[in-house]
Structure 1
């Protein structure tokens, strides 16, 4: 069994929740898993609890904010519903979660008048902050897929989360990258308190990873020995700057490949040039051809 790897979190969004996947992760040194109240058809916590002692070595982070609805999952920041989800999470897991995120709060505050949206976010954050103080979770955080609407809502009255989790990687648009960093700055959170997620945009097998060459973001021998997928994963720690990345896979080989990339050295000046190019091409930066051109242009001439 390897030494623990704190820089990778096993994300369970699309997982089949099978014992062998957690066993394989454990053998590779992965000690953190990330799930949510609504994952696995709202049965993620019960399923994990059914694994018994297998769950014990893992730090478990989860999320609350989505609830069963007549037409599928519905989002709510209602304090009573959040408190219910926190208490049910503890019962269903059979243990206190180490970290609970407020799940995509922008879903409920977008479109509200600014003062109402600010109050809604502050109250919801207060529910999680109180839960941490009362022992319903070890710590609390914000997980946001689209952090832009949240930036202007955070002020001195907004409880400060322990962790912020945002999208990271080469497929993240520059507006989202900038908003993620602005939100972390509003709360004075260091990079050590920021996690990345979905480093491949949920598509590790997509053809885009053959169309672009992420290896230009690596230095020296790292660019020679790493695969394109490994290079894209390593770059995700710098787009934006994060300490850990939640990545999902039921394939032990894929996880092992990602683990082996953690020692690769990233060329931060190339990352900075790439971000500048995305800003210049704002609005077109989601196309693979645009990204490929930006990556080639950002690459140092010696690459």
Structure 2
């Protein structure tokens, strides 16, 4: 909060399905000052976490979320719905997704949460089933230089279909899950910034560019390292050369064509 960050994104299944209780215990009287978004879709199973879009399980998770937090979350995402839609006929997948989204829409209208959205690692898998679902208020997708062009294009297509402004599209995993990976030492994302913005590190540049691949209004990052958070916050004012972003996406698309190496 000292860095100006007043939003926390979590999930029903994080921290061994105890993330909401842990957050409430740690945040204490600061909790009302935070905007809380969470996700439902994964549940305890006999072999670990299992995914489900069953309306009854989603409702139970929403009820427990409010109870564990001690307040209604500001936003609830349907968590990776594609996990339960894979290999289903499009019509059946569409019906299952619509019913699951209906549960979240009802929860929002009933005051169980402030709003609802969809968080997806593979938005391309939702393009077919998303035809008749209630309109989500927010879309969360992977962002950054390591995201395949198919995912970037699908995120843009879903945002356009649901008429979501940039502010309603959120990015996640801007470093592909690891900000210390060797790729950020061998590549130079400062190529996307005017005059390479030599005052920024490669990690800072990669984070700034992630807001444009695809275009998002906010980005979720890990919060366990305050120094890392400060580094990222300090990069927010950097400009990004849009023509370089456009050329990069064109190169990704060309590389992903049949007969070319995948992107």
Q: Match of 1:180?
A: 155
Residues 1:39 and 2:14 are matched in the alignment: yes
1:70 equivalent to 2:46? Answer yes
* Separation in 1, partners of 2:183, 2:52: 35
From 239, 248, 254, the equivalent of 1:280 is 254
Matched, 1:228 2:228: no
Structure 1 residue matching 2:130: 3-state secondary structure: coil
Normalised to the residue count of structure 1, the TM-score between the two structures is 0.84
For residues 127-276 of structure 1, what are the structure 2 equivalents within 5 Å? Answer: 127-155=103-131, 157-220=132-195, 223-276=197-250
Q: Is contact 1:97-1:137 (8 Å) kept?
A: yes
Q: Secondary structure at the match of 2:151?
A: helix
Q: Higher RCO, 1 or 2 (CA under 8 Å, sep at least 6)?
A: 1
**How far 1:249 sits from its partner (Å)?**
3.3
User: TM-score w.r.t. structure 2 length?
Assistant: 0.96
- 1:17-50 Cα offsets, whole Å, 9 max, x none, are xxxxxxxxx1111000000000000000011111
What is the Cα deviation at residue 154 of structure 1? Answer: 1.9
Structure 2: which 5+ residue stretches go unaligned?
A: none
Count of equivalent residues: 259
Separation in structure 2 between the aligned mates of residue 198 and residue 87 of structure 1, nearest angstrom? 28
- Mapped to 1, the partners of 2:180 and 2:98 lie a distance apart of 39
Shift of 1:185: 1.4
| Alignment correspondent of 1:124 | 100
Structure 2 CA distance for aligned equivalents of residues 101 and 167 of structure 1: 14
1:285, distance to aligned residue in structure 2 (A)? 4.8
For the Cα contact (< 8 Å) 1:230–1:257, is it kept in 2? yes
Q: CA RMSD in A?
A: 1.1
